[in-house]
Structure 1
Amino acid sequence: MQYLTGFGAHVVILARMRRLTLAVLLVLTGCSSGTGDTVGFTAVGLTATPEALATHNDTLVIGTRPADHPELVTRAQDGTLSNARLIPATPYGKEAHWYGITSDGTTITGVGGERGGAHGNVRWSAWTGDTRQITEKPQAFSTFGGYGAGELIGVVRTQQGPLIIGTWQSAKAGLDIAVWTYAADTWSRQPSAGTVLESSQELLRFPLAVTPNDDGALVVGWQIAKGTVSAAVWQFDGKTWTTATLPDGDAALAARCWDGTCHVVGRSKGKLAWWSGPEWKKHTTPDIPVGDDQNLAAPVPVNGTPTLFIDHNGVKLVSEKDERQADGPTGEVKAAEVAGGQVFVIAGDRLWRLT
């Protein structure tokens, strides 16, 4: 055996210590590079605050708002950003925030709103166009406002055309879920009486979000009957509306449908809840608190896995089985979308792309 003394022995000992330290670090990190389960994101360089997302074929549509007016930005699959020409028709349209955007691949439809007037109610604006130009189509004040008006929660495309979903004063009690259809530049509210959208003294309904579902739409929210609160969904198949109560849920907050399944996320006893339909099975998910006033973004497929982005001690990617940390996004998650095979998230008033 060879023995080293003096300076040579010191060098050998230090080298062995370094190798031992490296080996220990590799074991502790699972032989990874240190990223662990962290998922990387890249910020998209917008010049204004993003408020809403939609997919127009392979193009991402981004409703943004600088200090005092709306803009519509598109991002092509190669990352090119462009601004659609925006043509407002009313004073409140010039100042609107984006409440929702949808597209059928040909036409883009948007809903905007800005508070104003003596009572500070939202003054709504409806927009129609494409990636080159989108125009506000002025409506009569009584279309979305006036006595009996509620709120608008979003816009959705269907095989029969776009629908705006909101609420309106019920003839029986509280507010009905209300549906507006579009034809000849005019939005018309359809009667809710006699349908599952109608509220009554025995059952009050509260819609919170809407998403496309095959040829129709899926509305999610909550209801209260005889003092019992439950999460609920309302489905439109292109002709009629049906409803279902979600098991062990307090409120359904967001939803997205793809490949024949609708993924609904919400709240159950102060915790995250996840259901899938049409069977409306409740899944087991990581233990994540969801507050009474907290909003959730709709889930999206990430590498084939239904995934929710949520701010839980930092932005996390949550599936039925696990929870991973997002590297980059911080703050409240407001929207998620998939366009051109790429995943985008609005978090902390910035737009991020999953890398």
Structure 2
Amino acid sequence: MRRLTLAVLLVLAGCSSGGGDDTVGFTAVDLTATPEALATHGDMLVIGTRPSDHPELVTRTKDGTLSNSRLTPATPYGKEAHWYGLTSDGTTITGVGGERGGAHGNVRWSAWTGDTRAINEKPQAFSTFGGYGAGELIGPVRTAKGPLIIGTWQSAKAGLDIAAWTYAADTWTRQPSAGTVLESSQELLRFPLAVTPDGDGALVTGWQIAKGTVSAAVWRFDGTTWTTATLPDGDAALAARCWDGTCHVVGRSKGRLAWWSGPDWKKLTTPDIPVGDDDKLAAPAPVNGVPTLFVDHGGVKLVSDKDERPADGPSGAVVAVEKVGDQVFVIAGGRLWRLGQAA
């Protein structure tokens, strides 16, 4: 199946799909290695990159200056890790890396903590993220009470629970999911796919299956308690971003693009764009206050809930989107791009 990847951008003020040249320009950001993940760190962009065999961390200032942070791995797999996610509270950067290995080819996870000067792998006991009950790690997210890592872990009842790890004294500790809306059961299996900051807490997107019925779902953490909601007419919620009190969730409904706006989770009308079972979406981002998506749909396009416009520059699969100040950055086709032409 042709791979479609979505990320997000915005229709600039005064532009429409009718008449004129609606092409939106981008400028390539030249890096020395393949970008894999993005995060905002104050007024700087943090870029997780990987040359052929090891991870690196690059920062970009508002004026375009690029610098490498000193990266110190502590385990053999940390030395080879790909970036699965980065997050920042403006002071501390938290990263999750992984590389497959061992007899079964499972992902061997690495957890990273630091700042723009240096980021270090913090070695964990094997049973922290691995072992008999291990699932997958989705990625890190910052909250007001500190960072979380979201993933899955063997359920006491059925399948896998959604799991959350908290961080203190260089140690990640998995919190119990039993008795919460993160727990799976024989009647309801839960599958997280992505996580994003949401105010003081976090929003996890994914899907669930109950009595043979598949539905898109979100799990929301307010800093103390987890709650959940089923999204109307949806098969999977693939990515989200929250700003100004609203969470914008994109996903799949009957093989087509679906878009919801929360906290009331109203489904929006969008252009008719296919999204397959194996396709991934990057989170929407605000540009001039308007959420819009990037789509590899016969070429990379910018898609809002009203129209779709071609992008000049980016091509190929879209991996990540990040907004820093008034600038929007996109990883597409293994390169980093900035919205807007060079001055």
User: Which TM-score band applies after superposition, normalised by the shorter structure?
Assistant: over 0.9
| Corresponding letter in the other structure for 1:307 | T
Q: Report what 1:132 is aligned to.
A: 117
Q: Distance in 2 between matches of 1:243 and 1:334?
A: 26
Q: Distance in 1 between matches of 2:292 and 2:195?
A: 18
Q: Distance in 2 between matches of 1:120 and 1:161?
A: 31
Q: Report what 1:24 is aligned to.
A: none
Q: Distance in 2 between matches of 1:316 and 1:109?
A: 31
Post-superposition shift, 1:304? 1.5
The SS at the match of 2:127 is helix
Q: Report what 2:141 is aligned to.
A: 156
Q: Distance in 2 between matches of 1:301 and 1:176?
A: 32
Post-superposition shift, 1:341? 1.3
2:283 to 287, 290, 298: 298
Q: Do structure 1's residue 224 and structure 2's residue 209 form an aligned pair?
A: yes
CA contact (8 A) 2:69 2:119 kept: yes
2:54 to 39, 64, 69: 69
Q: Do structure 1's residue 51 and structure 2's residue 29 form an aligned pair?
A: no
The SS at the match of 1:147 is coil
Q: Report what 1:198 is aligned to.
A: 183
The SS at the match of 1:279 is coil
Q: Report what 2:69 is aligned to.
A: 84
Q: Do structure 1's residue 235 and structure 2's residue 223 form an aligned pair?
A: no
Q: Do structure 1's residue 42 and structure 2's residue 27 form an aligned pair?
A: yes
TM-score by length of 2: 0.93
Q: Report what 1:20 is aligned to.
A: none
Post-superposition shift, 1:340? 2.6
Q: Distance in 1 between matches of 2:295 and 2:136?
A: 25
Q: Report what 2:311 is aligned to.
A: 326
Q: Do structure 1's residue 209 and structure 2's residue 220 form an aligned pair?
A: no
Q: Report what 2:14 is aligned to.
A: none
1:279 to 255, 260, 264: 264
CA contact (8 A) 1:297 1:310 kept: no
Q: Report what 2:104 is aligned to.
A: 119
CA contact (8 A) 2:33 2:49 kept: yes
2:292 to 277, 294, 307: 307
CA contact (8 A) 2:152 2:163 kept: yes
TM-score by length of 1: 0.90
Q: Distance in 2 between matches of 1:135 and 1:341?
A: 30
The SS at the match of 1:143 is helix
Deviations 1:129-176 (A, max 9, x none): 000100000000000000010000010000010000000000000000
| Greater length-normalized contact order (CA 8 Å, ≥ 6 residues apart) | 2
The SS at the match of 1:118 is coil
Deviations 1:165-190 (A, max 9, x none): 00000000000000000000000000
Q: Distance in 1 between matches of 2:197 and 2:264?
A: 18
Unaligned runs of 5+ in 2: 1-17
CA contact (8 A) 1:139 1:186 kept: yes
Unaligned runs of 5+ in 1: 1-28
Aligned identity (percent) is 86
Deviations 1:113-133 (A, max 9, x none): 000000000000000000010
Query: Alpha carbon RMSD of aligned pairs, Å?
Result: 0.8
Q: Distance in 2 between matches of 1:133 and 1:324?
A: 40
| Corresponding letter in the other structure for 2:114 | G
Q: Report what 1:261 is aligned to.
A: 246
Q: Report what 1:99 is aligned to.
A: 84
Q: Distance in 1 between matches of 2:100 and 2:165?
A: 21
Q: Distance in 2 between matches of 1:121 and 1:187?
A: 20
CA contact (8 A) 2:26 2:339 kept: yes
| Corresponding letter in the other structure for 1:169 | Q
2:126 to 119, 134, 141: 141
Deviations 1:331-352 (A, max 9, x none): 0111000013100000000000
CA contact (8 A) 2:287 2:326 kept: no
Q: Distance in 2 between matches of 1:187 and 1:333?
A: 30
